[in-house]
Amino acid sequence: MNREIKEGVQSVLIKARKSLKLEEIIENIPEYISELDDSKTKERVWRLLICEVQKPDGLFICSNGKYDLLKRVDLRERVKNELESNGFGFSYGQIIRPKLKNKEDIRRFHAPARADKYGENKDFLEKNEEKLLTFFANGDEINIEEFWPKLEVVEANTLQSDIFKYATLLWSVPVSQGFGRRVRFLVWDEYTGKLVGIFALGDPVFNLGCRDRWIGWDHEDRSERLYNVMDVFVLGSVPPYNTLLGGKLVAMLATSGHVQEIIRCRYEGKKTVIQGKNKDPRLALLTTSSALGKSSIYDRIRYNDRVLYQRIGESEGWGHFHLNHGLFGALRFYLEEVKEGKVLGNRFGEGPNWKIRTAKAALSQIGLPGNILKHGIKREVYGIPLACNFKDFLMGKETNLESFDLAFDDLASYWKERWLKGRAKKKPEFIKHKKERVSEIIHSAVMNKEGSIDE
């Protein structure tokens, strides 16, 4: 019976999601133990709680005359301590968010998450870094006149996927893995054979108000034709090409007809996981967002008098990256315990917001508000139309997609004349760059130092 009482008390506290007095536990425990003798209920529950509270590894804790689950209390304190270390405050039950005035403030706010990401990849770096660093250029290897970009699709479990992974560790904002359809690209300098930059396309967020309003979508339209949109979830150039505005080159190449054809060929004839349908894989629109406020990469990118990246709004500032040092994993594990394994995982079809949904549910279980996840860092959102009639196509008004003629070579040539040559004269110090600097930037993450290269 003691085991049943213990499980009953645990169930009562789990359902309550807060600390309870002895009388409140006794009042609710019959729901879980039908054979309990009412005359002895209070004494049995009280004796069990006293015994458990005194055990070093007991399930329960008592504070101010109320009982709670020890694991829940410990986890709640961990979350509060982590948030306070990130600049959050608590006053009369309300959350006070840190004030972030500029990009450096935002970088510092992301620093713990970046350090966590570094820690997760420490073994990878020790094993592969020396080899991977050979694919990065010294400044004096670059020939401005001979420069020409080459695109390569990254396949899983290859040297190229290791190069891509290594490059993402340069970013001050940890790079996500993307969701659903995911296609990664490397951009190379044909002359040097060195890496210029990376980008990746994945399934877009389902709920994005500014995008849907801009297109004119309702729920039904979005559900039917979101497949014709992909999100650029990582994009940028690496040293020393970032000094030469290589990020703008990578951004332009991501819009090319060559990339659109790669996506069409990869997904043509394949059934979608959720609906089990063969959908038209042609891309009408790309979206992306800036990590650090106004984007220095996407801002003012024009090609033949047309703005390629159009600012369409901003995100609402929700996320989970400030739950560092293993906190998200601990929250998910706790939720799996109290929900008996009925927790969503990061699998295709469960949506890109699964971590936020999981974290919200776990925070509720430990007695903290879900709006802890509203960190307040709003990202600028950009739409990148790939056809002159993209809105009518996405609204279902037209079936013929009139794609822009964005030839890879034309985009590269335009960027070279518009940005590369002038930038090389203005910033001749790029020649002094040594590839070892890439390693220094990556390893600076563990010390939360400045030095990341994005935007």
The pLDDT tens digits of the residues spanning 393-450 come to: 999 999 999 999 899 999 999 999 999 999 999 999 999 999 999 999 999 876 554 4
Smallest Cα–Cα separation from 109: which of 172, 178, 169? 172
**What's the confidence (pLDDT) of residue 449?**
46
Please tell me the distance from the alpha carbon of residue 288 to that of residue 293, in angstroms, as a whole number.
13
> When comparing pLDDT for 393 and 275, which is higher?
393
Give domain status of residue 359, yes or no: no
∠77-80-86 over CA atoms, to 5°?
140
Model confidence band, residue 202 (pLDDT cutoffs 50, 70, 90): very high
Smallest Cα–Cα separation from 174: which of 329, 331, 291? 291
| 123 and 179 part of one domain | yes
| 135 and 284 part of one domain | yes
Phi/psi at 306 (5° precision)? -115, 135
Give domain status of residue 166, yes or no: yes
| 165 and 295 part of one domain | yes
Contact 320, 356 (CB under 8 A): yes
Please tell me the distance from the alpha carbon of residue 178 to that of residue 352, in angstroms, as a whole number.
8
| 300 and 219 part of one domain | yes
Model confidence band, residue 163 (pLDDT cutoffs 50, 70, 90): very high
| Average pLDDT score over residue span 169-191 | 86
Give domain status of residue 173, yes or no: yes
Give domain status of residue 96, yes or no: no
Domain edge (last residue) among 64, 81, 114: 64
Smallest Cα–Cα separation from 239: which of 198, 197, 185? 197
| 217 and 283 part of one domain | yes
Give domain status of residue 422, yes or no: yes
Q: pLDDT averaged over the chain? A: 86
Please tell me the distance from the alpha carbon of residue 229 to that of residue 222, in angstroms, as a whole number.
10
**What's the confidence (pLDDT) of residue 260?**
96
The residue to which tokens 């406020």 are assigned: 293
Please tell me the distance from the alpha carbon of residue 401 to that of residue 281, in angstroms, as a whole number.
12
Task: Pull the structure tokens for residue 278.
Answer: 């063969």
Percent of the chain with pLDDT over 70: 87
Domain edge (last residue) among 15, 48, 64: 64
Estimate the crossing angle of helix 327-338 against helix 354-365, to 10 degrees. 70
Model confidence band, residue 178 (pLDDT cutoffs 50, 70, 90): low
Contact 451, 292 (CB under 8 A): no
| 43 and 119 part of one domain | no
Q: Which of 57-61, 217-221, 420-424 has the lowest mean pLDDT?
A: 57-61
| 49 and 193 part of one domain | no
| Average pLDDT score over residue span 247-266 | 96
Give domain status of residue 332, yes or no: no
Model confidence band, residue 92 (pLDDT cutoffs 50, 70, 90): low
| 180 and 293 part of one domain | yes
Q: How many structural domains are present in the chain?
A: 2
Residue 199 has pLDDT above 50, yes or no: yes
Chain centroid offset of residue 296 CA: 20
Please tell me the distance from the alpha carbon of residue 239 to that of residue 451, in angstroms, as a whole number.
11
Q: What is the pLDDT of residues 311-362, one digit of tens each?
A: 999 876 666 767 777 788 888 888 888 875 555 554 444 444 677 788 888 8
**What's the confidence (pLDDT) of residue 93?**
65
**What's the confidence (pLDDT) of residue 161?**
97
User: Could you tell me the CA-to-CA distances from 103 to 44, 311, 319, 450, 454 in Å, in that order?
Assistant: 58, 18, 18, 11, 11
- Which residues lie below 8 Å from residue 347, measured CB to CB, with a gap of 6+? none
Give the predicted TM-score (pTM) of the model: 0.79
Give domain status of residue 181, yes or no: yes
Please tell me the distance from the alpha carbon of residue 422 to that of residue 420, in angstroms, as a whole number.
6
Domain housing 429: 103-316+379-447
| 310 and 419 part of one domain | yes
Give domain status of residue 30, yes or no: yes
**What's the confidence (pLDDT) of residue 348?**
41
Q: What is the pLDDT of residues 115-157, one digit of tens each?
A: 878 888 999 999 999 999 999 999 999 999 999 999 999 999 9
Smallest Cα–Cα separation from 183: which of 166, 162, 200, 169? 200
| 188 and 244 part of one domain | yes
| 230 and 125 part of one domain | yes
Residue 177 has pLDDT above 80, yes or no: no
| 56 and 139 part of one domain | no
| Average pLDDT score over residue span 278-292 | 89
Provide the residue type at 357 as one letter.
R
**What's the confidence (pLDDT) of residue 349?**
41
| CB atoms inside a 10 Å sphere around CB 158 | 10
Domain edge (last residue) among 10, 42, 64: 64
